Structure 1
Amino acid sequence: MKLGLIGYGNIAGSLLGVLAGQGFKAERLDVLARPGAEARAHDKLAPEGRAISDTFAVHASVEELIASGPDLVVEVATHVAVKESLIPCLRAGIDGVLVSVGALADAATEAALTAAAKEGGALLRIVPGAVGGIDMLAAARLSGGLEVTYTSRKPPLAWTGTPAEAKLDLATLDKAEVFYEGSARQAATDYPKNANVAATIALAGAGFEDTRVRMIADPEAPGNVHEYTVRSNALDFTIRLEGKPSPDNPKTSLSTVYSVARDILNAAGPVAI
């Protein structure tokens, strides 16, 4: 497999480390970085990158990435990168994996991704990331009568840099406080670095408008806790996952990295599970 990555941050570095640890080998590995950041990206990712492939390169433009001929491009960057880089790759006929799922809260972006995949004959895969049970949620949706409520509970400082700062004193919070209740679309729009799970659940289930979301800052939270309840004509269930935060970025659940790695390993075959 020829593997491409869009992004060179925390998830990218951890992902390459996991793949290397699993003995994954790629025919070549190509990474897209921001213009001017090529050297920094190369130095950061080279150790794990060269463990995965003897051919490792960093590019500053999506055109260069496409020209390198990847079989699969994995977006591990930002909502902006989804629009500027993943869409052209899909249009060029390259299968893609989307990690910044919250970008699809913007209806225009969702439509553009779908159109690009159709135009290029490519497949866009959305990884579950930090949440589980997405297979059963998607199956329950087909049965009708779907109601979904999702609660995101994280330590107060995990909400630093978000609108929660204007609602709570995160540094001194001594009890759990709900600071957001509303639709998955608004949650993913207002908290783009924290609401990928809300977006994933919405896409697999009741949709962005009808998926209800609660966000809680809780000093007693054991990590990034994701819990959602599903009611449908086929089955009812509740799932709770206590994700361990990434050591380099507490806003990211470490399980996200392993979810993306699983998807790449499945794509490489010979058996997918």
Structure 2
Amino acid sequence: MQTVGIIGYGAMAAYVARHLAGSSWALTHCIARKGREAAARAAIGADVTVAYDADDLGAVPDLVVDCAGHQGLKAHGAAFLRRGVPVVSASLGALADAQTYQALQEAAESGKTQLQLASGAIGALDALSAARIGGLSDVVYTGRKPPQSWRGTPAEEGGCLEALDEAMTHFEGSARDAALRYPKNANVAAAVALAGVGFDKTQARLIADPKAQGNTHTLSASGAFGSFTFTISGESLPDTPRTSALAAMSVVDRIFRQSAPIVI
């Protein structure tokens, strides 16, 4: 039996906890803020040890999973990596910040371990990563969501979201700018950038569409391999419309890959 610690206790953490039950992985620890111990245990399991950071733990788990978003990864990821514990995260947008990227990279090298990035809400990253070997010429990510999904973001500037009657492109630029400006909405742009040509060479387009039934992600790439376009329409977790169901599934899949005898 191998052990897992989770950073955070929200909807994604609860999803991961449910799917680890009965597996060869035991959820033993949760990193949460002081005063949130009862809430953490209620969300992911009464038997977990709740701690406030990596230094609070005597024996560290075999694997740590970040389910707390960008701030959770920034606050705790490097400490576990330095202790030699691999960390799985879907908070890919946090790596758009060059300082954060360098800190996590140096911590993983120091601890002789890895920060493993879950694929999140998009697919085809395996094909994109393989195509990078031969050379990529163009990589474009397009994210299309209903107007309400862009509330609390720069898309609201000008106050036009509520009155939209047709699709509006509210951002066009690099994946780095998209991830930094839309930290809760552009993890997919970051995933595409990290698998392909990087944050600055990957182009991103973000669209608010009143006719959209859900979140649609499109990845287009061309290079020495040829070209492809991949589109996925994703559902959210029932507990929270901001969290992609596939993103949570990809975290569980990444955990199970650690111990699977055959991996694709």
Q: TM-score when scaled to structure 2?
A: 0.94
For residue 57 of structure 1, the aligned residue among 49, 60, 82 is 49
The one-letter amino acid paired with 1:74 is V
The one-letter amino acid paired with 1:183 is S
The one-letter amino acid paired with 1:16 is A
Contact 2:17–2:27 (CA under 8 A) maintained in structure 1: no
Does residue 1:262 correspond to 2:247, yes or no?
no
The one-letter amino acid paired with 1:120 is G
What root-mean-square deviation, in Å, do the aligned CA atoms of Structure 1 and Structure 2 show? 1.5
Aligned pair count reads 263
Shift of the alpha carbon at 1:169? 3.0
The one-letter amino acid paired with 1:155 is P
Task: Give distance in 2, aligned partners of 1:11 and 1:100.
Answer: 12
Matches within 5 A, 1:2-13: 2-13=3-14
For residue 137 of structure 2, the aligned residue among 138, 142, 146 is 146
Contact 1:185–1:209 (CA under 8 A) maintained in structure 2: yes
Q: Secondary structure at the match of 2:242?
A: coil
Matches within 5 A, 1:113-262: 113-262=104-253
Task: Give distance in 2, aligned partners of 1:63 and 1:223.
Answer: 41
Deviations 1:184-227 (A, max 9, x none): 00000000011100001001111111111000011221211000
Q: Kindly indicate which of the two structures has a greater share of residues assigned to strand.
A: 2
Matches within 5 A, 1:40-79: 40-46=39-45, 55-65=47-57, 67-79=58-70
Q: Structure 1 stretches of 5 or more lacking a match?
A: none
Does residue 1:271 correspond to 2:254, yes or no?
no
Shift of the alpha carbon at 1:168? 4.5
Contact 2:20–2:26 (CA under 8 A) maintained in structure 1: no
Deviations 1:98-139 (A, max 9, x none): 211000000111111111001001121111111101111011
Q: Structure 2 stretches of 5 or more lacking a match?
A: none
Contact 1:30–1:68 (CA under 8 A) maintained in structure 2: no
- Identify if the C-alpha distance between structure 1 residues 257 and 267 changes in structure 2 by more than 3 Å, giving closer, same or farther: same
Shift of the alpha carbon at 1:62? 2.4
Q: Residue 32 of structure 2 corresponds to which residue in structure 1?
A: 33
Task: Give distance in 2, aligned partners of 1:179 and 1:125.
Answer: 31
Q: Following TM superposition, where does structure 1 have runs of at least 4 consecutive aligned residues deviating by more than 3 angstroms?
A: none
Contact 1:5–1:32 (CA under 8 A) maintained in structure 2: yes
Q: Residue 91 of structure 2 corresponds to which residue in structure 1?
A: 100
Shift of the alpha carbon at 1:17? 2.1
Q: TM-score when scaled to structure 1?
A: 0.91
